Amino acid sequence: MDKGVYWFGANGTEGSADMKVLLGGKGANLAEMANLGLPVPPGFTITTEVCNDFLAANLRRSAGLEAEVQSAIQKIEAEIDGGFGDSENPLLLSVRSGARASMPGMMDTILNIGLNDDTVLGLGTKAGDLRFAYDSYRRLIQMYSNVVLGVSHHYFEEILEVVKEERGIKLDTELGTDDWRKVIANYRDMVERECGQPFPTDVRDQLWGAIESVFRSWTNQRAITYRRIHGIPDNWGTAVNVQAMVFGNMGDDSATGVAFTRNPSTGQSEFYGEYLVNAQGEDVVAGIRTPQHLTKSARLENGEKTLSMEERMPSVFAELTKVYKILEAHYREMQDLEFTVQKGELWMLQTRTGKRTATAALKIAVDMVEEGLIVRDEALSRVDPARLEQLLHPTLDEGAHRTVLARGLPASPGAASGLVVFSADEAEALAAKGEEVILVRVETSPEDIHGMHAAQGILTSRGGMTSHAAVVARGMGRPCVAGVGAIRVDYADNAIYVDERVVNKGDVITIDGSSGEVILGRVPTQKPELSGDFETLMKWADEVRTLGIRTNAETPTDVQTALEFGAEGIGLCRTEHMFFDSDRISAVREMILADDENGRRQALDKLLPMQQEDFAQLFRIMKGKPITIRLLDPPLHEFIPHGDNEIDEIASASGVDATVLRHRARELEESNPMLGHRGCRLAISFPEICEMQVRAIFEAALQVKSEFGESSGLEIMVPLIATRTEFDLLKERIDSVADEVEKEKGSRVSYMVGTMIELPRACLQAAEIAETAEFFSFGTNDLTQTAFGISRDDSGRYLDHYMRKGIFPVDPFVSIDIAGVGALMQIAAKNGRECRPDIKLGICGEHGGDPDSVRFCHRIGLDYVSCSPYRVPIARLAAAQAALEQKKTDWVA
């Protein structure tokens, strides 16, 4: 048998930090601290391989393992001066699990192993405190019986309550030695009754029970589910750490605490943490006593009276300071420490990479580069791009109390509070008076745009992550919670009904578009503040990344925002959004209602100058940076109302016959609009729409050229191509209109014509399409919908269930499904490039702002990713990380 037990302690530690696979995270770091000469209670780690063998051998431990453990215990006894099970001078042990990755759902910790009716007396004598010994004993029984034997907590609580009542006292601390004895006796009776066997008094039985329980917990349901969701292989197994107990509750010269080597919420380089005198770790967790600050400065800053560790235990604090500095310098990373002081002696129980806020992550990464601890590449890899989002939007104050009314889809990040209003006009009116409002609708439609602009946030009871509300809100950077099925929006009553609650117009609510929460009343929010660290890190990212970063935007405001966030071009300008403005929508409807081409052309003539100005504005802002303009994409029925009331309203407002409108709406109705008469199919059926848009584009481009000199970067994109013929027909038309306008104006602009690749068939036909298409932009939203056969809007009903069951490891609408959608993209990229080596490849689906997807796009060699303005920084960092990763792989290969 291979070596199954690794010793750590003053006496020749066998493991090290780079042995996480075998020893788990906790075990490897305990070994590393011992190697560094830091005070670690001696102990040993049983390897993950032993765990796997144990599970494979039908939960049987081998004789070899028993021998190894036995000899390791003897080493602890030698170092600590005590005997495991020795009634005079008992050695107590802790047993803790420790897998490669932190993994909730498994057995965690059992303390005080080694206590029984004999050894408890020895412990009491040794500690000079019998009450302490019995308290420790009852803790062992309680913890062990619960975790190993499965006895429910409430049995123990009941017994404790009865004893306290008998004694007429309220606090555990008032119980004396005899009381604890009584409690222990009752505990043991109860455990025997519940389990059909007595609580083990043999200390070796206790130890093996605990160890095997850790092993078994690897296969419990919660752990399996967690692994399935997080993609952790079942064969990793867990290690077990067995360690000599140290006690922070041996009097006022004892203590326990946790610390961070830097401030985990601000990133400030200051020692930060809490401690409790005369307490064990679990007391801190239980929250019965309030922990104290570690440093004097923190105490003063918070106006606390109770002394800090720095003041109360200056020498131990000095030692701790030395330790934390050693650890941070050694790991070159902010550490999260656990320590115990036993009778004035410092013991380190754990060190690991500390969790931190996004702000702190940024600051620490940048500071550490400046301190020379790490290089820029390392700094870049240490900030999670996804978490940058919380820096860019207001967030809810974490400490604040919240009454959550309901939960919906986190459709557009950020938090906002305001008065409930039910119509766009109200929203605008109140906002004009300086009120903050939340616009609440069943669904939003193009008519609501002005209200969405005026509101602080948008809440809808229907619609998914790609509903009108969600898409528009994300573009605007407004928080939005969509599809809150649990609420009923009643326009007639001007009220929202949630279970038995009613929220009326004018009541204040708060929405958190990052979590999907709808909260009653106002919750304080934290405004985002972009530090210089952010700029620094972004600059470093830009130096490293090879992927271009563009944005999906069409309004001047959004485009401006994106440019400020570092976008290098527009990857998707959705021209249909320009049709929704109140001054255009009536012309759009006139076009849709027209009986023939002539009628449509008349209406389009009205739109032409507006579209021209739309594009001219963009060209002016972009100053020659690339702009991908997509021709009209959605089915025409999206521009006309459907509900009977809405139709009447619109009809009377725009002077159209309601019957005509209703008839046309019915005519245009589709059973599956996502797969309907849209995209290039529209341009082929109604070439005049395409012609108007192309004319507007070229007139604008030439106009701006005449103002500023050369303008370029124009890319015209045809949506929803399934066959090369569709593309060829439309390219021909685009080229001919371009030529016409250029001749009229006597000037030319350079431009490209390309296509969205958003249908599986287009991916398979990429070689053919690339013969005439000059660029591809992957529309991964629709590609995901068609590859999976899943309507994103309808998927709410089962998507959660699918994620919980691990059928989808991640939501394929959030992160590219590499095995399916990604495979299609790879086919298209490869075949497209083979046919046209210099073809420009990008992505403009929402995945363009998802770090894992950005990594994938880098790997398959796309030229750029395009995402919503607020995700541009995320994409920049993710692209840099992808480039670094590749550098590493290339180096290895």
Tokens of 198: 């007595």
Residues 6 or more apart whose Cβ sits within 8 Å of residue 348: 33, 38, 39, 40, 323, 337, 338, 339
| Residue 740: Cβ-neighbour burial (10 angstroms; 0-12, 13-18, 19+) | middle
- The amino acid sitting at 601 is R
Q: Which residue's entry shows tokens 């929220």?
A: 503
Q: Which of 392, 509, 824, 862 is in the footprint of its own copies by CB under 8 A?
A: 824
- Residue placing its CB nearer to its own copies in the complex, 624 or 820: 820
726 near its own copies (CB under 8 A): yes
Quick check: 491 and 422 in contact, CB under 8 A? yes
DSSP 308: P
Closest CB to its own copies among residues 359, 785 = 785
How near is the Cβ of 860 to its own copies at its closest, in Å?
15
Stretch that binds its own copies, among 12-20, 185-193, 276-284, 677-685 (CB under 8 A): 677-685
CB 669 to its own copies: min, Å: 9
- Residue 790 makes contact with its own copies by CB under 8 A: yes
Tokens 């062990």 sit on residue: 144
Q: Is 819 in the site for its own copies (CB under 8 A)?
A: yes
| One residue of 568, 590, 782, 850 binding its own copies per CB under 8 A | 782
What is the phi/psi pair of residue 353, to 5°?
A: -60, 130
Listed residue (758, 721, 716) closest to 629, CA to CA: 716
Of 624 and 673, CB closest to its own copies: 673
Q: Smaller CB distance to its own copies: residue 1 or 807?
A: 807
**Cα–Cα distance between 24 and 483 in angstroms, integer?**
42
Q: Decide: 122 and 83 in contact? Cβ < 8 Å.
A: no
Output the smallest distance, CB 889 to its own copies, in A. Answer: 24
Shortest Å distance, C-beta 226 to its own copies: 16
DSSP symbols for 758-798: -SHHHHHTHHHHHTT-SEEEE-HHHHHHHHHT--GGGTHHH
Q: Measured from the CB of residue 779, what is the shortest distance to its own copies in angstroms?
A: 10
Q: Return the biggest CA–CA distance within the chain.
A: 105
Our finding on whether 229 is near its own copies (CB under 8 A) is: no
Q: Is 658 in the site for its own copies (CB under 8 A)?
A: no
Identify which of residues 617 and 826 has a Cβ nearer to its own copies in the complex.
Answer: 826
Q: Which of 107-115, 233-241, 543-551, 678-686 is the region at the interface with its own copies (rule: CB under 8 A)?
A: 678-686
Q: Among residues 674, 803, 835, 860, which is the contact residue for its own copies, using CB under 8 A?
A: 674
Out of 188, 606, 748, 761, point to the residue binding its own copies (CB under 8 A): 761
Instruction: Please list the residues that pair with 353 across neighbouring strands.
Output: 335
For its own copies, the closer CB: 435 or 728 = 728
Strand order in the sheet with 238-244: 5-8, 43-46, 238-244, 93-99, 109-113
CB atoms under 10 Å from CB of 264, counted, come to 20
| DSSP letter assigned to residue 819 | I
DSSP-assigned letter for residue 836: -
CB of 724 to its own copies, least distance (A): 9
Using CB under 8 A, pick the residue from 226, 331, 497, 788 that binds its own copies.
Answer: 788
**Active-site residue (options: 293, 393, 468, 847):** 468
- Nearest approach, Cβ of residue 798 and its own copies (Å): 5
> What's the closest the beta carbon of residue 729 comes to its own copies, in angstroms?
7
Strands 5-8 and 43-46, bridge-based pairing:
antiparallel
| Identified binder of its own copies from the candidate list 699, 817, 846, 850, rule CB under 8 A | 817
Q: Does 723 bind its own copies (CB under 8 A)?
A: yes
Q: What gap in Å lies between CA 841 and CA 828, rounded to an integer?
A: 10
Residue 520 CB neighbours (<10 A): 17
Residues 885 and 48: their CA atoms lie apart, in Å, by 28
- Degrees to nearest 5, angle at CA 318 with 317 and 319: 90
687 touches its own copies (CB under 8 A): no
In this structure, is the dihedral angle defined by the CA atoms of residues 280, 283, 285 and 287, taken in order, positive or negative?
A: negative
Q: Which is nearer to its own copies, 190 or 682 (CB)?
A: 682
Report DSSP state, residue 100. Answer: S
308 Rama class: left (phi>0) / alpha (psi -120 to 50) / beta = beta
Q: How far is the CB of 466 from its own copies (least distance, A)?
A: 10
Residue choice 508, 673, 688, 803 for contact with its own copies (CB under 8 A): 673
Q: Does 729 bind its own copies (CB under 8 A)?
A: yes
**Nearest to its own copies of 9, 679 (CB atom):** 679
Q: Does 802 bind its own copies (CB under 8 A)?
A: yes
CB nearer to its own copies: pick between 466 and 525:
466
Q: How far apart are CA 387 and CA 332, in angstroms?
A: 21
251 binds its own copies (CB under 8 A): no
Nearer to its own copies, 726 or 846 (CB): 726
With CA atoms as reference, report the closest residue to 628 among 617, 639, 615, 638: 615
Residue 774 sits in the site that holds its own copies (CB under 8 A): no
To the query of whether residue 330 is one of the catalytic residues in this protein, the response is no
Distance CA 110, CA 695 (A): 75
Catalytic residue among 844, 847, 857, 858: 844
Q: Of 163, 658, 752, 764, which one interacts with its own copies (CB under 8 A)? A: 764
Neighbouring C-beta atoms of residue 600, cutoff 10 Å: 19
Q: Are 468 and 446 in contact (CB under 8 A)?
A: yes
Annotation says 468 is catalytic? yes
793 is a site residue for its own copies (CB under 8 A): yes
Determine, following the binding rule CB under 8 A, whether residue 409 of this chain makes contact with its own copies.
no
CB nearer its own copies, residue 127 or residue 818: 818
Residue 397 sits at φ, ψ, to 5 deg, of -60, 120
From 78-86, 354-362, 531-539, 788-796, give the range in contact with its own copies by CB under 8 A: 788-796
Q: Is 791 in the site for its own copies (CB under 8 A)?
A: yes
Site for its own copies contains 497 (CB under 8 A):
no
91 binds its own copies (CB under 8 A): no
Q: Using CB under 8 A as the criterion, which residues of the chain lie in contact with its own copies when the complex forms? A: 670-677, 679, 681, 684-685, 720, 722-723, 725-726, 729, 758-761, 764-765, 768, 782, 785-791, 793-794, 797-798, 801-802, 805-808, 817, 819-821, 823-824
Catalytic residues: 468, 844
